[in-house]
Amino acid sequence: MNYIGQEIQDFSVKAYQQGELKDVTKKDVLGKWSVFFFYPADFSFVCPTELEDLQAKYSQFKAAGAEIYSVSEDTEFAHFAWAEASEGIGKIQYPMLADPAGKLAKAFDVLNEDLGQTYRAAFVVDPDGVIQSYTINNMGIGRNAAEIFRTLQAAQFVRAHGDKVCPASWQPGDDVLEPGTDLVGKL
Amino acid sequence: MNYIGQEIQDFSVKAYQQGELKDVTKKDVLGKWSVFFFYPADFSFVCPTELEDLQAKYSQFKAAGAEIYSVSEDTEFAHFAWAEASEGIGKIQYPMLADPAGKLAKAFDVLNEDLGQTYRAAFVVDPDGVIQSYTINNMGIGRNAAEIFRTLQAAQFVRAHGDKVCPASWQPGDDVLEPGTDLVGKL
Amino acid sequence: MNYIGQEIQDFSVKAYQQGELKDVTKKDVLGKWSVFFFYPADFSFVCPTELEDLQAKYSQFKAAGAEIYSVSEDTEFAHFAWAEASEGIGKIQYPMLADPAGKLAKAFDVLNEDLGQTYRAAFVVDPDGVIQSYTINNMGIGRNAAEIFRTLQAAQFVRAHGDKVCPASWQPGDDVLEPGTDLVGKL
Amino acid sequence: MNYIGQEIQDFSVKAYQQGELKDVTKKDVLGKWSVFFFYPADFSFVCPTELEDLQAKYSQFKAAGAEIYSVSEDTEFAHFAWAEASEGIGKIQYPMLADPAGKLAKAFDVLNEDLGQTYRAAFVVDPDGVIQSYTINNMGIGRNAAEIFRTLQAAQFVRAHGDKVCPASWQPGDDVLEPGTDLVGKL
Amino acid sequence: MNYIGQEIQDFSVKAYQQGELKDVTKKDVLGKWSVFFFYPADFSFVCPTELEDLQAKYSQFKAAGAEIYSVSEDTEFAHFAWAEASEGIGKIQYPMLADPAGKLAKAFDVLNEDLGQTYRAAFVVDPDGVIQSYTINNMGIGRNAAEIFRTLQAAQFVRAHGDKVCPASWQPGDDVLEPGTDLVGKL
Amino acid sequence: MNYIGQEIQDFSVKAYQQGELKDVTKKDVLGKWSVFFFYPADFSFVCPTELEDLQAKYSQFKAAGAEIYSVSEDTEFAHFAWAEASEGIGKIQYPMLADPAGKLAKAFDVLNEDLGQTYRAAFVVDPDGVIQSYTINNMGIGRNAAEIFRTLQAAQFVRAHGDKVCPASWQPGDDVLEPGTDLVGKL
Amino acid sequence: MNYIGQEIQDFSVKAYQQGELKDVTKKDVLGKWSVFFFYPADFSFVCPTELEDLQAKYSQFKAAGAEIYSVSEDTEFAHFAWAEASEGIGKIQYPMLADPAGKLAKAFDVLNEDLGQTYRAAFVVDPDGVIQSYTINNMGIGRNAAEIFRTLQAAQFVRAHGDKVCPASWQPGDDVLEPGTDLVGKL
Amino acid sequence: MNYIGQEIQDFSVKAYQQGELKDVTKKDVLGKWSVFFFYPADFSFVCPTELEDLQAKYSQFKAAGAEIYSVSEDTEFAHFAWAEASEGIGKIQYPMLADPAGKLAKAFDVLNEDLGQTYRAAFVVDPDGVIQSYTINNMGIGRNAAEIFRTLQAAQFVRAHGDKVCPASWQPGDDVLEPGTDLVGKL
Amino acid sequence: MNYIGQEIQDFSVKAYQQGELKDVTKKDVLGKWSVFFFYPADFSFVCPTELEDLQAKYSQFKAAGAEIYSVSEDTEFAHFAWAEASEGIGKIQYPMLADPAGKLAKAFDVLNEDLGQTYRAAFVVDPDGVIQSYTINNMGIGRNAAEIFRTLQAAQFVRAHGDKVCPASWQPGDDVLEPGTDLVGKL
Amino acid sequence: MNYIGQEIQDFSVKAYQQGELKDVTKKDVLGKWSVFFFYPADFSFVCPTELEDLQAKYSQFKAAGAEIYSVSEDTEFAHFAWAEASEGIGKIQYPMLADPAGKLAKAFDVLNEDLGQTYRAAFVVDPDGVIQSYTINNMGIGRNAAEIFRTLQAAQFVRAHGDKVCPASWQPGDDVLEPGTDLVGKL
């Protein structure tokens, strides 16, 4: 099933954020842009670099009005312990969702059921909870926080301007196209 | 349905490539890396810039042993006419697949059935025809050829080295991680 | 399924008409006679001559209170580009419907699903949206605008006069038959 | 269901031909072109003129290697009696099939089940028993033997020449088109 | 299924009667006794003698308050033409029902579906539309109008007298039996 | 279901015949013509007269190579006792079948399930066990042995002469018709 | 299915009683104790002795407020004739139910479907129509009227006294037991 | 379901017999006549008298080649304890089957599922394991060992003599009937 | 199915308690803690020691506000007799439930259907009728009343204090843990 | 479903044991006694004390030929990290199974699906992989390693001695019972 244009399902999970345990639900997500960033497991190898890569750009995402939610199939206790044990993870400021029951992973269809871990997937969700872009990589292939941010900005631009659309590799400030019959077949 | 790890289905479509009409089948695709790059429609607005962005990096993809296949729901005749009418499209060297029967779009589940056009999706497929990464954007959100190329390289690295995995935003030449129990919780 | 006496389904498609893009729905069709004229693809070979053959008789159809709708599985952008590229197509005055999602082609059951193109079919539809006559030819066999017009006139005559019926090859002005028991077995 | 490209079903019916009663089966039909010409009922009003119109061109159809089969839901006895009673029908030379069990009418889906009569339908069938063109008119709308003959010739031409296709309103001797990439969008 | 005691279904058919075409429905049948007399086909061999045999006794049936309806799968036009062509049929005064859609033949389950003709069946129906007696013969076996009339009279007698029953081969005027316990085992 | 042309089912029942109890099966019936004559009940009122009417013609049926089987839902003991108690029944020479389990009555579909008795039905069965004619009367309406015999003779004639058919009310010795196209519509 | 504690179904049958024919329904049975006594067939061998054995005790059953109903699959006419023919049966005073439609035999599940006769079964039914005891013997095994009477009396005693229960082979006047915890394991 | 003529199912249960615990299976039962005698519960009130009544006649049953099996839903331990606690039960010589899993009670359909106890049922089973007679009484109604024994003897007589049948209340030594047509309706 | 957190089903059974027979239902159980203690059979070997082990601690359970219910598939009569026969059982003060119909055993899914006996299972049920702990042992493995009591106390403690949880092998008076983020990974 | 007597399913999971990561499958478990000890989550509160309680008795289990397997829904990486972070967990010598895919938890039906954590369950499994005893406690209620060990010993004793059974609270060295009819009702 293709998830573009689908609204995310209701959910309620535990989360770890900067030394605190809390609840996060769909209601918390609505009203602002969000990125759901799935990774296979706490205490494993590639994952930390991806999470730290995101943290390095966290202030940019916040400035753009977006929240980041990392998600793994570990418990909130494991997130807590990982943050205590790892210097890099300890610095993460965004909420780390705990999905041991697999609810989010199944809702986004990124669970590798044989391993009980998720693929490396990132979803860009608009303030109405509707998925606008997503990327899923096989287990070993890391993602790029900069590209996720570029995609978020493009999605925000389309939502804001409607009749204008972004050309390839667009960055804020680049020219945008104004569709019209004068352009048919001319580009 | 999640397509990671799935082998692509059999297909046989018409294609336009540099002034010629030809057939392209799954058999042509196997044995080398490939990128399937879906776009909504010929003669429309954002699409040309994405296709030209890919053409600009085409020699890099070829050097990496990968072929690019653009796909839309238009006929090969429309591709032909577009290449004649548009300077930018006229320069494209990779095969442009014609999918008016929607076979590829349904096989990859990227068809917007209401419009009869596809979402902006890119699939990285390995030489066995197995999908290793994919990104799907809503209609208005353009893609980034550089990121597709980076992902292709990461997937190639994982296939070649197996026991090594790529950290986030990895580029060829960057350090890679060697998993081991000494790294558990240390990153 | 036989379509004689069936009302056409609701539909809403994009259309190109003389340099403009517009929407055409079932509502636009009701209230006057209409001819739906399906052809395989823009920019292909036989099709233009059929479309130009119809254009040559367009004023006759209009005088008879009928609209012509050509339909292919191409987009409105392809129609636009074709009109710009081809002198003959550029002269067409009737609406050219864009059916890339295959809605009309499936509703009239003229889609060759393997090719994603339609057979050469023409439907004569009365002001209530009810099909009164239709002809379907295999891919290579062109149609005859004059015969479509003759059939339209015969259908209009039957609708207007009810108790009178048209003999074979009837043209307006020819004698018509008045059915009665005195004619049983006498013709 | 669309019948283009479908092979006709097996059938075996009684027929009247020039004072004789005989059997006609699918086997008799294969190997030459044929036209199945359905009409509502013997001894009714429009029908005789259509049948006589066909008879007037019968030598042309025979010269073109095609047989005509008229079909109604009457018995062979009724055909016999009609030929005796009506001067025009008495002159018909082609076989008049008797389909009181509705087998042919159902196979071609032209039965008006409420009346127990068929719509006015004509099918052009190739020597393999495959339908290449068909027209169905509502009860009151007569057909045109000349157009049926033109369509038959066009279908024969396509079968004979394969790579050439007929433009609109084509008649034998007219120019034909030779498809090629040089013609894309040029017609 | 056994039809004794079943009410006939609703029907509406065309009929020929003495030079006129008319409609006959179940409503026309109710309120008086009726005989439905099915025969295979107009213009065939045994049938006329059966129909003429009935006509010869028609005044007796009318005097007994019963109507006769002959039924075949031919059209009303064929009945008309037959009456004109055949002296014997031309003299028939009762309505000849036209059942080309097979509605009556299926309702009474006397259709030979392979031939599209009915078996030789006669049904005696009471004024409530309920079947009281029926005989069905295979194709070649003619019926006996005198026996149908005798059965009708016996059925009328039972309806009128209720507690009295007719002995075998009873004719009006013969003795009837008065059932009572004094007769048990004594006859 | 219409039984014309149906082969009777296998059966095995007890029978009373002239003071003896015996078994009768389908095998006993095959190879000669037979009449199955159902009546409601032993010791009841109309029935004896019908059975005696048949007995009066029994020598004619035997001379025509046919056997008569009367059938009721009573036991063979009841038949026995009835023959002892009633002078008329005591003279019957044909086998009286006992069908208390309703097997024959259900196979011929003549059981009035509410009463546990059969309608007054007579079946003419050919030497292959195939039903050629049948008549079913409601409870109170007696049958006519002479008409059953006439129908048997007509059925025998059709079986013997095939291409000849009997006109209405035909009796052996009457003229028969030789079907041919010269007779179409002439009778 | 076990019938103890089940209420008998509604029924309506014909009956013979002392020279009269009458109707017997469930309504006639309710309000007093009853015995349903099934036997295979009138005019057969063991049955008469069982029926006469019951008649010999009929005055005792009546005195105990119980009615006896004999039942077979014969008609009321056969019962009538049997009573006339047999001295013993002629003396029977209780109603002899006629069940040719098998309604009672099926409701009590005692029909041997292959023979169309019932097993030798006796049911003791209380005034509410509820079965309190039943015995079913295979075809050849006769019953004992005295034991049926003893069982009836025991069932009446239990209904009347509730908290007291009958020891084995109890007869009216014998001691009865008063259940209580002092008796647990003491008998 | 009626059990007459049904073979008992396979079973294997524990049993108590004269101070010993043992297994009893269907195999032990075959080859001789048997009586299955169900009672509600050990240590309850009516039951002991019935069991002792049977014990009193046990030598007669043994002399007739029959075994008695009492059955309740209690365990073999409860039977053991009951025999120790009760003088009457202690004297019982026949096997007391333990059916706590309800297998026998369900196979014979005598389980009152609400109470987990059986009705008072007795089954007479022949040496082939086929049920020939059975009686089921409601909870409070005791049985009669003498009648069970009489029925057993009648069943044995029928099995031994086949063509002879027992009159009502028959005891060994009584006259038996020889069926023949001379007796029909004479008894 | 896992029963933790499930509410027990409605039930109504007979029980023996200190010389009295009584009814026990779910309603009697609600409002206080309860232990359901299943054992295979009365009068068997291991069971008595388990029941006496529980009786020895009965005052402790009562002091803790809990009732004990032993359950077997025996009747209340067998319990009664066992208490009379066995000195140890005779001293038991808690209710001994009789479950011959298997209702409780099936509701708790502890019935060995092949034996008609239950496994050795103990359920700790809270005052709302919700199962908080259960242990099931195979047939031969006895239980430990002390451990059941310890588990009951732990369950009572959790219900009373909610936010505090019991460490392993906890006994009342032992320290308990106060969960908090300061303890994550520290124990 | 009751698991007593069921063989455990095939499984293959990752495990952490004393600093090493390894695979554990059903094959590793067969051939010796085993205890599967489920706990909710790593890094949580009650769990460590239970795990340490088991470790304290680990040498006793080993001496008895049994292996202990703790199981939670955490990954092997989390187990690794926990062992590094917690002194008590660091000392555990038995394998800690990682079940993030929930395979073991579902096979033993102890998964709280809403939490993605297991109930506190302990299973005693014999060398054939068959479950002999199990205890399941709600989330807050800790277990007792001593009782698990006692139960293991009792199960081993039953397996070894078969015909002897353990009384309640039995410990090795205690008296055991020798079942025999002399003990029925005497304990």
Using one digit for the tens of pLDDT, what is the confidence trace for G97-138? Answer: 999 999 999 989 899 988 899 999 999 999 999 999 999 998
Say whether pLDDT at J187 is over 80. no
CA C164 to chain centre: 25
Which residues make Cβ contacts (< 8 Å) with residue H63, sequence separation at least 6? none
- What pLDDT, on the 0 to 100 scale, is given for residue C45? 67
pLDDT tens for each residue of F11-32: 999 999 999 999 999 999 999 9
Helix (H, G, I), strand (E, B) or coil at B146: helix
The residues, any chain, with a CB within 8 Å of residue G2's CB and separated by 6 or more, are H109, H110, H119, H136
Asked if D147 lies within 8 A of C142 by C-beta distance, the reply is no
pLDDT band at residue A139 under the 50/70/90 scheme? confident
Does G177 score more than 70 pLDDT? no
Q: Are D157 and D177 in contact (CB under 8 A)?
A: no
- pLDDT score, position C141: 87
Chain E residues with CB inside 8 Å of D75's CB?
41-44, 73-74, 116-117
In tens digits, chain H (187 residues) has pLDDT values of: 678 999 999 999 999 999 999 999 999 999 999 999 999 999 986 667 889 999 999 999 999 999 999 999 999 999 999 999 999 999 999 999 999 999 999 989 899 988 899 999 999 999 999 999 999 998 888 889 999 999 999 999 889 886 456 666 667 777 665 656 665 655 5
- DSSP readout, chain C? ---TTPBPPP-EEEEEETTEEEEEEHHHHTTSEEEEEE-S-TT-SHHHHHHHHHHHTHHHHHHTTEEEEEEESS-HHHHHHHHHH-HHHHT--S-EEE-TT-HHHHHTT-EETTTTEE-EEEEEE-TTSBEEEEEEE-TT----HHHHHHHHHHHHHHHHHSS-B--TT--TTS--B---GGGTTT-
Question: Would you say the pTM of this structure is higher than 0.80?
Answer: no
- CB-CB under 8 Å, H80 with I102: no
- Give A29's pLDDT tier (boundaries 50, 70, 90): very high
Q: What is the mean pLDDT of residues F40-57?
A: 86
Flag whether residue H82 sits within 8 Å of chain J, measured between CB atoms: no
pLDDT in tens, I57-106: 999 999 999 999 999 999 999 999 999 999 999 999 999 999 999 999 99
Neighbours of chain G (3+ CB pairs under 8 A): E, F, H, I
Q: Which residue of C has its CA nearest to E75?
A: C184
Q: What is the pLDDT of residue G101?
A: 93
Give the active site residue among G15, G47, G98, G154.
Answer: G47
Q: Which residue of F has its CA nearest to D76?
A: F184
Whole-number mean pLDDT of chain J? Answer: 88
**Over pLDDT 90: what percentage of chain E?**
70
Q: Which two tokens stand for residue E65?
A: 């308050």
Mean pLDDT of C64-71: 97
Q: Would the pLDDT of I187 be above 70?
A: no
Asked if residue B137 has pLDDT above 80, the reply is yes
pLDDT above 70 for I160: yes
Over the stretch F80-115, which tens digit does the pLDDT of each residue have?
A: 999 999 999 999 999 999 999 999 999 898 999 888
Terminal-to-terminal C-alpha distance of chain J: 32
For I27, how many CA atoms within 13 A lie in the half-sphere containing its CB? 2
What percent helix, strand, coil does chain F show, rounded to 5?
30, 25, 40
Instruction: From chain H, pick out residues whose CB is under 8 angstroms from the CB of I38.
Output: none
Contact call for residues D133 and C143 (beta carbons, < 8 A) = no
What pLDDT shows up at residue B140?
Answer: 80
pLDDT surpassing 90 at residue C23:
yes
Share of residues in chain D with pLDDT > 70 (%)? 86
Highest mean pLDDT range out of E107-121, I27-41, J162-176?
I27-41
Residue in chain I nearest G182 by alpha carbon: I19
Q: How confident is the model at residue D172 (pLDDT cuts 50, 70, 90)?
A: confident
Q: What does the pLDDT average to over C39-46?
A: 84
| Physical contact, B and F (3 or more Cβ pairs within 8 A) | no
Mean pLDDT of C145-166: 84
Q: For all residues of chain C together, what is the average pLDDT? A: 88
> Please, which chains are in contact with D (at least 3 CB pairs closer than 8 A)?
B, C, E, F
Q: What's the rounded mean pLDDT across residues G12-16?
A: 96
Distance CA J136, CA J122 (A): 7
User: Is the Cβ of E187 closer than 8 Å to some Cβ of chain G?
Assistant: no
Q: Of J140 and H10, which is predicted with more confidence?
A: H10
Q: Pick from C124-133, D160-169, E105-114 the range whose average pLDDT is largest.
A: C124-133
Beta strands in I40-156 (DSSP E): 66-72, 96-98, 111-112, 117-118, 120-125, 131-137
Whether the CB of I77 is below 8 Å from some CB of chain G: the reply is yes
Residue A10 corresponds to which tokens in the numbers above? 């209701």
Residue B187 has pLDDT above 60, yes or no: no
Of H54, H86, H183, the CB nearest to G186: H86
Question: Class assignment of domain G12-160?
Answer: alpha beta
- Distance between CA atoms of residues H178 and H175, nearest Å: 10
- Report d(CA E119, CA F4) in Å as an integer: 8
Question: What sign does the dihedral J124-J129-J131-J136 (CA atoms) show?
Answer: positive
Residue predicted with more confidence, C115 or I2:
C115
pLDDT beyond 90 at G45: no
Evaluate if residue A42 carries a pLDDT over 60. yes
I81/G185 CB distance under 8 A: yes
- Say if CB E166 and CB F141 are below 8 A apart: yes
Pairing relationship of beta strands G20-25 and F111-112 according to DSSP bridges: unpaired
Least confident of A66-70, A149-153, C43-47, F62-66: C43-47
pLDDT band at D39 (very low <50, low <70, confident <90, very high): very high
Range in A113-122, G169-178, J5-14, J129-138 the model is least confident about: G169-178
Record the tokens describing residue B186, joined without a space. Answer: 């240390």
**Nearest-neighbour CA in chain B from J117: distance (Å):** 22
Residue A3 binned pLDDT confidence (cut-offs 50, 70, 90)? confident
| Least Cα separation, residue I175 to chain J (angstroms) | 12
- Start-to-end C-alpha separation, chain C: 32
Residue I35 DSSP code:
E
Shortest Cα distance, chain C CAs vs residue B75, angstroms: 7
User: Does residue H132 sit at the G interface (CB-CB below 8 Å)?
Assistant: yes
Residue E125 contacts residue E34 (beta carbons within 8 Å): yes
Candidate from A28-32, F33-37, F171-175 with smallest mean pLDDT:
F171-175
Distance CA H82, CA G185 (A): 7
Do F78 and G73 lie within an 8 Å CB cutoff?
no
CA distance C20 to chain B (A): 15
User: Which residues of F belong to the active site?
Assistant: 47
Is G138's Cβ below 8 Å from some Cβ in I? Answer: no
Contact I109 J1 (CB under 8 A): yes
**What is the structure's pLDDT at F140?**
80
- Which E residues 14-33 touch F at CB under 8 Å? none
pLDDT of D44: 81
> In this predicted model, what pLDDT tens digit does every residue of E166-178 receive, in sequence order?
666 667 777 665 6
Q: Is I142 exposed, middle or buried (0-12, 13-18, 19+ CB in 10 A)?
A: buried
> Is F2 an 8 Å CB contact of chain D?
no
Q: Which neighbouring-strand residues pair with F71?
A: F38, F97
